[in-house]
Amino acid sequence: MGAEASPSRSISGHLRGALNACRGAWVHAARLALDIALPTLCVACREPVDGEGVCAECWAKLSFIAPPFCPRLGIPFVYDPGPGLLSMEAIADPPAYARARAAVRYDDVARTLVHALKYHDRTDLAPAMGRWMARAGRELLDDADVLVPVPLHWRRGWSRRYNQSGALARSIERQSDVKVVSEVLRRVRPTQQQIGLSRMQRATNVQGAFKVAPDRQSEIQGRRVVLIDDVLTSGATVDACARALLRAKAAHVDVLVFARVVDTHKGPI
Ligand SMILES: [Zn+2]
């Protein structure tokens, strides 16, 4: 009995080994097939793409903001009004910050990228978006000491797990020699979502909502700050942040965002 049991065990052992090897090879092949079947998709149009978040076609659809634009607000001009001329908006309602720059206009492709980063954990998009921002904000970054991301309220930060402005700021830090200081600017009271609010309501909603933490004021005092956010709509949020930073004695505050809303119905001046 014992003499017969031994070879049969060994045969079944071999069989099991062969089966496992087969299974391993099959799993490997299946994984490979899946990799081929499921390449990275363009975040905007869902077509396969190599490497980064958007395909060449969607990249071409992004409206990168280039001169001529308002030197103060960064709003693109239809024609060049000559050096130093400001937009109507900058003259009528000057912001607390010195200058604002944006990489792209906030259109469909830009919105898809912003939403993917903000709500779908696509942190892999931050390096490319940050690179475009660093290019658009070169002039600002050359004059800057620190980068400050616009903070989320802690409740929203908790549910969304990370701050998209922080992810963009860290990407810009890698593109420049300017360091991020995080957790310095804080949201001291919850604010409503700005979506659907009028310009006046937006300003009231965020008024006094931000504060530099008293124990971190030395990191802002006398520093040239570039405030980082994903989208600039009315500018109320970055304006409230700039006021808080200036109250903490920042030397000056500039603003760099990924996308800005551009009202195409308005003329340049
Ligand atoms: Zn695409």
Q: What is the mean pLDDT of each run of 10 residues along the chain (269 residues)?
A: 45 62 62 56 83 82 93 92 90 95 95 90 88 96 97 62 88 95 88 80 85 96 97 92 97 97 61
Q: Are 246 and 113 within one domain?
A: yes
Place of tokens 């092949």: 29
Is the separation of the CB atoms in 187 and 210 below 8 Å? yes
Structure tokens at 173: 């830090």
Q: Are 23 and 73 within one domain?
A: no
Could you tell me the CATH number of the domain that includes residue 93? 3.40.50
Q: Is 1 exposed, middle or buried (0-12, 13-18, 19+ CB in 10 A)?
A: exposed
**How many Å lie between the centroid of ligand 1 and the Cα of residue 57?**
6
Q: Are 212 and 106 within one domain?
A: yes
Q: What pLDDT shows up at residue 201?
A: 85
Query: In the chain, how many domains are there?
Result: 2
Q: Are 71 and 172 within one domain?
A: yes
Say if 245 falls within a structural domain: yes
Q: What pLDDT shows up at residue 224?
A: 98
Predicted TM-score (pTM) of the model is: 0.81
Q: Are 121 and 169 within one domain?
A: yes
Is the separation of the CB atoms in 100 and 75 below 8 Å? no
Say if 188 falls within a structural domain: yes
**How many Å lie between the centroid of ligand 1 and the Cα of residue 159?**
29
**How many Å lie between the centroid of ligand 1 and the Cα of residue 44?**
5
Place of tokens 């000056």: 252
- Buried/exposed 78-96: b ≥16 CB within 10 Å, e otherwise: eeeeeeebbbebbeeeebb
Query: Domain span at residue 33?
Result: 1-38
Q: Would you say the C-alpha torsion 142, 110, 245, 204 has a positive or negative sign?
A: positive
**DSSP-based helix, strand, coil % in the chain, nearest 5:** 45, 15, 40
Q: What pLDDT shows up at residue 177?
A: 87
Ion ligand 1 neighbours, Cβ < 5 Å: 42, 44-45, 55, 58
